[in-house]
Amino acid sequence: MTTPINLTQAETGLVDRFDAARTGLAGSDAVAALRASAAGQIKAKGLPHRRVEEYKYSDLRAFLKSAAPLAAAVSVDEAKAALGAADMLGELDRYRIVIANGSYVAELSDVAALEAEGVSLADFNAALAGDKGAALLAQPKSAGTDGVLALNTAFVQGGVVLSVKAGAEVSKPVELVQIAVSEGAQVTRCRVELGEGAKLRLVETFAGKAGAGETNAVFDYDVADKAHLATTRLMISEGAGAVLATTLSRIGAKAELKTLCFIAGPDFTRNQQFVAFAGENSEAKIYGVTLARGKALADQTLIVDHAVPHCNSREFFKTVLDDDARGVYQGRINVAQHAQKTDGEMMTQALLLSEGAEMANKPELEIFADDVICAHGATCGEIDEDLLFYLRARGIPLEEAKTLLVLAFLSEAIEEFAEEDVTEILEQRVRDWLAAK
């Protein structure tokens, strides 16, 4: 018999929020049942907390003090004004897809131009109401009963389904921007489907009103055989509360997935990824760059499932922490018994700029095959005083010397990611963060 838990104020608020909002949430009867089940999990177990192994270092229950209501719908003009004031990508030539306060805004998205490139867009809510709506909320086995995913399933307000037809190669990056126009929680889910041999570069950004309430976004990637998907995620909502992002990735045969998540700013950030190889001779390259200061917490968590033979994965994460910030890296490579000839390599490195900063590194390997090459490593330390002396001896001021060393440290991951469209944008974001000290 399960002992009932004492819900916190935030957890009670989430249960009440679901009861108040459930009749207005999109989806078929099957989707409504999934939502109710997810809400029941929240009521029974509460929010993820430090006694849940996956959240040992990222206690969402302790951080979330209240439950903001879901963000209200906004007009196209309001979304357009907020979008113009929060452009993160500057002069980058790209297509754009806009989600404002949790809802897809077709009027501000480059629908026609993307259609000409072989990309179709559909409102996620409309897809939830269809015959395959429940399948869009499917949860991979590796995610278990993840609490953040349960929150998303219960409350998802909207999003977009992006489909690239087989053989299409989109000529410019596509920005998927989620902007908070007004107060309230934003809960979204975006499905990205690449047909066989398709190629897409995706840039995911979060922007808008600081302190608008928790953001909970799920990105569901389905990369077909011989397809190539490169995604860059910028989680740079200065002063925001909790920003939670989950990626569910399925990779077909002879395909490639390449991702980089850049975190700088939110008070509580968790970027979690669940990657599954579904076809042989494929590759996943997963990178992370994290910057945190003040009392911020930034968590990069991933699970890579090698379920088939002859696949390669590389995970490379860099973290810089200042003041009393806390960083978390949790990574696990699972290799199934029949997944022979797997090559998996994981590295996490952290640089601490103050005595109060803390980093928790937890790389893991779970291997059931015997013909594999797998390795993991973790480092954590301060700026090298010899390198700092070398730069200062050549007339470079102290703060500038520190900036050069931090930038060089982080640029290793950014440049290995090797997406020229965003390299300079990311490096400039590092400079801006250091200059704001």
Do the domain assignments include residue 330?
no
Residue 79 in tokens: 């979304």
Do the domain assignments include residue 218?
yes
Do the domain assignments include residue 294?
no
Strand 199-208 with 186-194, pairing: unpaired
Do the domain assignments include residue 306?
no
- pLDDT for 141: 80
Do the domain assignments include residue 362?
no
Quote the DSSP letter at residue 135. Answer: G
Domain stop point among 263, 279, 295: 279
Tell me the C-alpha distance between 263 and 325, whole Å: 13
Under 8 Å CB-to-CB from 54, ≥6 apart: which residues?
Answer: 48, 146, 301, 330
Tell me the C-alpha distance between 280 and 252, whole Å: 7
Tell me the C-alpha distance between 22 and 71, whole Å: 14
Q: Does residue 271 share a domain with residue 143? A: yes
Residue pair 284/251 in contact (Cβ under 8 Å)? The answer is yes
Domain stop point among 279, 309, 334: 279
Tally the C-alpha atoms within 13 A of residue 84's C-alpha that lie toward its C-beta: 6
- pLDDT for 1: 44
Q: Does residue 50 share a domain with residue 178? A: yes
Residue pair 368/336 in contact (Cβ under 8 Å)? The answer is yes
Q: Quick one: which H or E segment has residue 353?
A: none
Tell me the C-alpha distance between 292 and 300, whole Å: 12
Residue pair 17/67 in contact (Cβ under 8 Å)? The answer is yes
- pLDDT for 210: 56
Report CA Rg, the chain. Answer: 21
Q: Three-state secondary structure along 139-181?
A: CCHHHCCCHHHHHHHHHCCEEEEEEECCCCECCCCEEEEEEEC
Q: Does residue 394 share a domain with residue 261? A: no
Q: Does residue 401 share a domain with residue 262? A: no
What is the value of pTM for the model shown?
A: 0.95
Residue pair 70/183 in contact (Cβ under 8 Å)? The answer is no
Tell me the C-alpha distance between 161 and 313, whole Å: 27
Taking only the tens place, the pLDDT of each residue in 309-343 is 999 999 999 999 999 999 999 999 999 999 999 99
Tell me the C-alpha distance between 116 and 98, whole Å: 18
- pLDDT for 208: 75
CA 218 from centre of chain: 8
Distance of CA 238 to CAs 16, 22, 176, 214, Å?
29, 31, 19, 13
Which residues of the chain carry a pLDDT beneath 50? 1
Under 8 Å CB-to-CB from 295, ≥6 apart: which residues?
Answer: 267, 323, 324, 325
Domain stop point among 258, 279, 300: 279
Do the domain assignments include residue 194?
yes
Residue pair 388/356 in contact (Cβ under 8 Å)? The answer is no
Structural domain count of the chain: 2
Domain that holds residue 217: 9-279
Determine the angle formed by the axes of helices 385-392 and 398-417, rounding to 10 degrees: 120
Backbone phi, psi, residue 193, to 5°? -120, 125
The most distant pair of C-alpha atoms in the chain lies apart, rounded to whole Å, by 70
Taking only the tens place, the pLDDT of each residue in 260-284 is 999 997 899 999 999 999 999 999 9
Phi-psi region of 283 (alpha: psi -120 to 50; beta: other; left: phi over 0): beta
Q: Does residue 256 share a domain with residue 404? A: no
Do the domain assignments include residue 325?
no
Do the domain assignments include residue 73?
yes
Question: By C-alpha distance, which of 304, 285, 309, 302 is closest to 372?
Answer: 309
Q: Quick one: which H or E segment has residue 416?
A: helix 398-417
Lay out the sheet containing 373-381: strands in order across: 103-105, 95-100, 174-180, 199-208, 228-235, 256-264, 283-292, 312-321, 343-352, 373-381
Residue 167 in tokens: 């053989």
- pLDDT for 85: 79
DSSP reduced 3-state for 23: helix
DSSP reduced 3-state for 118: coil
Under 8 Å CB-to-CB from 265, ≥6 apart: which residues?
Answer: 235, 236, 237, 238, 239, 240, 291, 296
Tell me the C-alpha distance between 191 and 152, whole Å: 14
Residue pair 280/255 in contact (Cβ under 8 Å)? The answer is no
